[in-house]
Amino acid sequence: MKAALLKSYGGIEQFEIGDIPTPKPGAGEVLIKIEASAVNPFDLILRQGFMAQYIPLPLPAVLGGDAAGTVSEIGEGVTGFAVGDRVVADFSANGKGAHAEFGLVPATSVAKLPTALTFEQGAALVKAGLTGRQTVDALGIKAGDRVLISGALGSVGRAAIQYIHQIGAKPVAGVRPERLNEAQELAGEALDITVPAESPTFDYAISAAAPVAANLIGHVKDGGQIASIVPVPEGANTDKRVIIHELYHRTDAATLDAVLDAAARGALVIPISHSFQLEEIGAAQNAVAAGAQGKVVLKH
């Protein structure tokens, strides 16, 4: 099968399109004919070797954590899926990822893609949708709560805002001043997160933008809670006055079903800013590195 292979850690020149054996599904696994995959900032970190000590990749490696396509083959014991089903899948960072013609994943990492969504839309929803909902769940948000979200116009922020609205809570988008109008339209309320808080007014916050993480902490009251997917700035919470939950996305098919349902109903939209062919993986990663305002996807 055709795949975008990372030959060695380094720059985008380390990618080449090559042929590798098509995997066969074992018990509990699903083989997917991939039609689209997403490129995430974490892929760039893996490519450059910054995580090699913790996640050593078997080189040449295939990157890519989010995919959409059709079920090609199912392994023993798999129920609920049939060959030809349109699906999305959440891939592990193990060097056997989604930037290939076919991908093999546990059935527990797969969800059916509603007909209202394209493959590109499906691929854009996987990790962003899961992470956005999981940040909200980590805080135990309930109806009426007011929640500040930094990075609110990013993919994770948008997914969190949609879920907060669904719960009946009140999201407040923390964004740069030039994006206040757009953020207010999305969330209903917005503030300039680049300006330090005069006094903390929030019990809950979601930190999804590293450059303003310290400012966001300053908006949260003593004893308040933050769900953070970005590093906590050194010295920003040394007195532990705020409870910070450092989160990493986890695979959860039921949550992914809920994300896809929201998107199919039009309640959740993750914009796609760039669409490339699989062979253009280097250009796609460069677009992510340049700060693309939306998801970057590869069409296979």
Q: Please give the Cα distance from 230 to 211 (Å, whole number).
A: 9
CB atoms within 10 A of CB 27: 10
Confidence of residue 236 (pLDDT cuts 50, 70, 90): confident
The region of weakest confidence among 6-15, 155-164, 193-202, 233-242 is 233-242
Give the span between the Cα atoms of 294 and 121, in whole angstroms.
11
Q: What percent of the chain has pLDDT over 70?
A: 100
10 Å CB burial of residue 235 (0-12, 13-18, 19+) is exposed
What pLDDT is attached to residue 28? 98
Check residue 90 and give its pLDDT: 98
> Quick one: pLDDT at residue 83?
98
Q: Give mean pLDDT, residues 179-196.
A: 96
Quick check: 158 pLDDT over 90?
Answer: yes
Whole-prediction pTM: 0.94
How does residue 239 score in pLDDT terms, banded at 50, 70 and 90?
A: confident
| pLDDT at res. 38 | 98
Question: Which pair of structure tokens corresponds to residue 43?
Answer: 């892929």
The pLDDT assigned to 110 comes to: 98
Give pLDDT tens digits for 277-286.
999 999 999 9
Domains of the chain: 2-113+270-299 (3.90.180.10), 128-246 (3.40.50.720)
Give the mean pLDDT of the chain.
96
